Amino acid sequence: MVFVKWQAVKKIGGYVVILEVAILDVKSGKEKDFELVFARAQQIIAGMDGYISHQLQRCLEKAGRYILLVNWQTLEDHTQGFRQSAEYQQWKALLHHFYEPFPEVEHYELVY
Amino acid sequence: MVFVKWQAVKKIGGYVVILEVAILDVKSGKEKDFELVFARAQQIIAGMDGYISHQLQRCLEKAGRYILLVNWQTLEDHTQGFRQSAEYQQWKALLHHFYEPFPEVEHYELVY
């Protein structure tokens, strides 16, 4: 899922890589369930047009906190292609009930 | 700086990779200065023991916002090795005056 050479993708691929960042706060006691469900759910994004790679990482300082990092070929691959798809409805049904509060998602572009 | 195969590092390196995450809010109008100074400052972390790779990314939605992602071999390489070093004093002098508010830094470990 995450075998990506960043600079190589950015330059050789001929498109600008966009990094989606979401800090996810999972309801207390639901962390293991979330990780199990995410293992399935990640196959949904991995199959979308414009998807490059992703990582889910667990916070060491704050229980229940995760960060989701997804690389997309373009901003629209995430905001339009994915979010307006039928697959997004599945993603939402699987994952959204774990979050409290509901996460804010931001997009970033590589500086260095 | 960022030619890392994540899973490969995690498995072959024989240590747990720790991801340092800092959302950086730079004072309005200081963004270009910050980027120029960061270009120099990044050489400081890149030379530290336990440093693996880093990225600085610019937020598309919020002006002046950046995310700094640094991979370290261990948590202590960042929290002790780097933060208690003379090099950290240089890093601090170069960069900390750009931030408002002062960023909270968190550490993460890979789930998927």
The string of pLDDT tens digits covering residues A30-81 is: 999 999 999 999 999 999 999 999 999 999 999 999 999 999 999 999 999 9
Nearest CA in chain A to B55: A112
ipTM over 0.95: no
Q: Which has the minimum average pLDDT: A14-18, A94-98, B68-72, B85-89?
A: A14-18
Closest-CA distance, B22 to chain A, in angstroms, reads 12
Whether A7 has a pLDDT exceeding 60, the answer reads no
Question: H or E element: which one contains A46?
Answer: helix A31-46
Task: Compute the distance between CA of residue A55 and CA of residue A2 in angstroms, rounded to an integer.
Answer: 7
A42–B106: do the CB atoms touch at under 8 Å?
no
> B109 pairs with which residues across the strands?
A58, B18
pLDDT interval class at B7 (50, 70, 90): very low
B57–A109: do the CB atoms touch at under 8 Å?
yes
Average pLDDT, chain A: 90
In terms of phi and psi (left: phi > 0; alpha: psi -120 to 50; beta: otherwise), the region of A85 is beta
Contact between residue A28 and residue A63 where contact means Cβ atoms under 8 Å apart? yes
pTM of the entire structure? 0.88
Do β-strands A18-25 and B65-72 pair in parallel, antiparallel, or remain unpaired?
unpaired
* pLDDT over 90 percentage in chain A: 86
How crowded is residue A48: how many other Cβ atoms within 10 Å of its Cβ?
Answer: 17
Q: Does B109 touch chain A (CB under 8 A)?
A: yes
Which chain B residues touch A106 with a CB distance below 8 Å?
Answer: 59-62, 65
Q: How far is CA B72 from CA A30, A51, A89, B76, in A?
A: 28, 26, 36, 9
Q: Residue type at B40?
A: R
Task: Compute the distance between CA of residue A81 and CA of residue B7 in angstroms, rounded to an integer.
Answer: 27
Q: Which residues contact A70 (CB under 8 A, 6 or more apart)?
A: A19, A20, A45, A51, A53, A54, A78
B112–A56: do the CB atoms touch at under 8 Å?
yes
> How deeply is A25 buried, as exposed, middle or buried, from its count of CB atoms within 10 A (0-12, 13-18, 19+)?
middle
What angle, 0 to 180 degrees and rounded to 10, lies between the N-to-C axes of helices B86-95 and B31-46? 170
B60–A8: do the CB atoms touch at under 8 Å?
no
Whether B1 has a pLDDT exceeding 50, the answer reads no
